[in-house]
């Protein structure tokens, strides 16, 4: 019976630690590379495609630079969306952690109050030593 209780406590401790690790992992995610990766990869595809289509050099530069601007805007919007999503998840995990801490504190106080009630001796309580004779 005690091993089941210990296993349950160990599992709860592992879940708490993993949720704390998740909170820190969300905060460590670097989203600053999203925009440059989108711009470079998409523009490279456009540049190679238009190069092999044999566009004139002036048109090719216009196409490549306009694709850089377009994908820069798309990458910036994507980066802001992902950053906002991560911030929402971070706030949600912090709220869940605070709620779990609050519930654990309430449970601890309830257990202390319950233990305090049982240890108090009332005047009309019979003791086995008094009932021997």
Segment 38-89, tens digit of pLDDT = 999 999 999 999 999 999 999 999 999 999 999 999 999 999 999 999 999 8
Percent with pLDDT over 90 in the chain = 45
pTM: 0.61
Where do the structural domains in the chain lie, given as residue ranges?
Answer: 27-114
Q: What is the pLDDT of residue 1?
A: 45
Crossing angle of helices 57-119 and 2-28, rounded to 10°: 150
């Amino acid at each position: 019976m005690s091993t089941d209780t210990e296993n349950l406590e160990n599992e709860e401790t592992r879940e708490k630690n993993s949720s704390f690790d998740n909170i820190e992992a969300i905060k460590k995610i670097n989203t600053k590379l999203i925009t440059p990766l989108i711009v470079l990869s998409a523009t490279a595809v456009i540049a190679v495609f238009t190069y092999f289509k044999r566009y004139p050099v002036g048109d090719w530069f216009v196409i490549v630079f306009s694709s850089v601007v377009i994908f820069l805007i798309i990458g910036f919007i994507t980066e802001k969306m992902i950053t906002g999503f991560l911030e929402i998840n971070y706030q949600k995990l912090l709220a869940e952690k605070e709620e779990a801490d609050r519930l654990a504190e309430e449970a601890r106080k309830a257990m202390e109050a319950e233990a305090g009630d049982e240890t108090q001796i009332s005047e009309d309580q019979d003791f086995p030593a008094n009932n021997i004779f």
